[in-house]
Structure 1
Amino acid sequence: MRRVIGMDIHRTFAEMVVWEDGQLRHHGRVDMTRSGLEGFGRSLRWTDEVVVEATGNAKAVVRVLSPVVGRLIVPTQCK
């Protein structure tokens, strides 16, 4: 089962949405701290795809989450 998680990153928190089984749903908020991201990472599957907003905090998210998900995407440009 494919699951795609989108992260809207803010300075102190991130909002997540999940697309699964053709449905989009709110997945909550996570603190933008190492422990907050690690806790969120424990809820992810190795088959998940995570799309991270390209902001200043994106590198920290990539460092923490990339080992636990199948694919992590940071878009660099929108057309």
Structure 2
Amino acid sequence: MVAANESSIKEMIERAKVEAGEEDCMICLEELKVGFEASRLPCSHVFHGDCMEKWLKQSHYCPICRFEMPTD
């Protein structure tokens, strides 16, 4: 697997408040609590910030839709 590059992670990942309807982090499978801060990919999928960071250091694809982040 190829990691996303550091600059794309910093530039393309948006911090966002979890809204109703975004129930679970599909990386760790734990609940995303409404109102808490999470990370949103450009494809609009939301994950815990730490989960997303670890994931993108291993893979440059969104774990849900396979949106492709830039690589080195």
- Scaled to the shorter chain, the TM-score interval is under 0.3
TM-score by length of 1: 0.25
